[in-house]
Amino acid sequence: MKLLAIDTSTDACSAALAMDGEIHERFELAPRRHTELILPMVEQLLREAGLRVQELDGLAFGRGPGAFTGLRIAAGIIQGIALGTGLSVAPVSTLAALAQAAYADTDHPNILAALDARMGEVYWGVYQNNGNGLVRPIQAECVYPPDRVPIPEDGEWLGAGPGWAVYTETLKARLAAHLIGLQPGYHPRAREVALLGLDAFRRGQTVPAENAVPVYLRDRVVTQAKSR
């Protein structure tokens, strides 16, 4: 399957192309430059693979949670491609992509993924390896103050993601009995969005273009944005 994936949910900007069992990626930490970088990344990947966008089999994008503007950029681009080609879309959780990256690099099966949600809160996800190399949520994704995030029932957990860098001490105090280490440098990226997107296609969990929309987790951010 030939699948194009993008993610612009955080300060990181990335695009990936899954093809012939391999995933090729372009990635850059580039705050506020997503609109400048993401389409050239996509075009470069397709050009190097000798593909036209019409020859793709599917699309995936980081659907959130994350930065409001970044989520809108990714959704808008993917919707545009999907409408023009008739391709189905796999919306992929950015927290899941973050957890997948941490699992792939560390081989630790239990990941506590955290993104900075601003306003004194974190986007929070609890993930475990499902036995075939992919992570699955064992709790619903949520947004909470760091001193109130849901605690796993048991096990040893690795904290991953930039939310841990912002609220290190508070999260460590909250999870002390369960935490075995921290990896705050991970970001959601298109490589993992592609990997999880391929799995979504295999399981029939895709949507048409009009349903490829962001997931914010925080209702008041959406309300504020609509009022501007």
For residue 224, pLDDT beyond 90: no
For residue 187, pLDDT beyond 80: yes
* pLDDT over 90 percentage in the chain: 92
For 93-102, 133-142, 155-164, 219-228, which range has the lowest pLDDT when averaged over its residues? Answer: 219-228
pLDDT at 219: 66
**Residue range 170-186: mean pLDDT, rounded:** 95
Q: Which CATH fold would you assign to the domain 3-93+188-227?
A: Nucleotidyltransferase; domain 5 (3.30.420)
For 93-107, 126-140, 146-160, 213-227, which range has the lowest pLDDT when averaged over its residues? Answer: 213-227
Mean pLDDT of all residues in the chain? Answer: 94
The position carrying tokens 């349903």 is 211
Q: How many contiguous H segments (helices) and E segments (strands) does the chain have?
A: 7, 11
Q: In terms of Cα–Cα distance, which of 18, 75, 27 is closest to 194?
A: 18
* Cα distance between residue 14 and residue 90, in whole Å: 16
Using only the alpha carbons of the chain, give its radius of gyration. 17
Q: Are 41 and 97 in contact (CB under 8 A)?
A: no
pLDDT at 220: 46
Burial classification of residue 172, based on how many CB atoms lie within 10 Å of its CB (0-12 exposed, 13-18 middle, 19 or more buried): middle
pLDDT in tens, 197-214: 999 999 999 999 999 999
For residue 87, pLDDT beyond 60: yes
pLDDT at 10: 97
For residue 227, pLDDT beyond 50: no
pLDDT in tens, 30-67: 999 999 999 999 999 999 999 999 999 999 999 999 99
**Does CATH place domain 95-183 in 3.30.420.40?**
yes
The position carrying tokens 């991953």 is 160
For residue 225, pLDDT beyond 50: no
- Residue length of the chain: 228
DSSP state of 53: G
Which pLDDT band holds residue 157 (cuts at 50, 70, 90)?
Answer: very high
pLDDT at 160: 98
**Residue range 184-204: mean pLDDT, rounded:** 97
pLDDT at 207: 98
* Cis peptide bond prior to 40, omega within 30° of 0: no
Stretch(es) of the chain classified as CATH 3.30.420.40: 3-93+188-227, 95-183
**Residue range 6-33: mean pLDDT, rounded:** 96
Q: Are 209 and 79 in contact (CB under 8 A)?
A: yes
